Amino acid sequence: MTELSRCERTSRLLVARLDALASVVSQLRHAEAERLVELASIATMHAVALETLQAERAEAIWREAHARHPELPEVVVELPERIAA
């Protein structure tokens, strides 16, 4: 698998995960919804650290998800520049 295809696959997975969360967020308590979004943000940070997703693309995905689904809880996603050696 090439780096580009790995990045595209990771992007699609993140978009799908955020869309799925948005579809059930109204059925959850706020704390539960926040926790699921927080877990997605941690997965995003790991993907960026492992270089399977570019930081700029990750930020764009999160911005677009919140634009499409304003009901998603806001979670600060602190993306690392690269994994520590």
Q: Say how many C-beta atoms besides its own lie within 10 A of residue 64's C-beta.
A: 12
Q: What is the pLDDT of residue 85?
A: 42
Q: What is the pLDDT of residue 19?
A: 93
C-alpha 45/C-alpha 25 separation (Å) is: 22
Q: Exposed, middle or buried, 74 (CB in 10 Å: 0-12/13-18/19+)?
A: exposed
pTM of the complete model: 0.80
Q: What is the pLDDT of residue 80?
A: 60
Q: Say how many C-beta atoms besides its own lie within 10 A of residue 21's C-beta.
A: 20
Could you state, in chain order, the average pLDDT of each consecutive group of 10 residues for the chain (85 residues)? 87 94 89 90 91 91 92 73 49
* Residue tagged 């499409």 (tokens): 68
DSSP state, residue 81? S
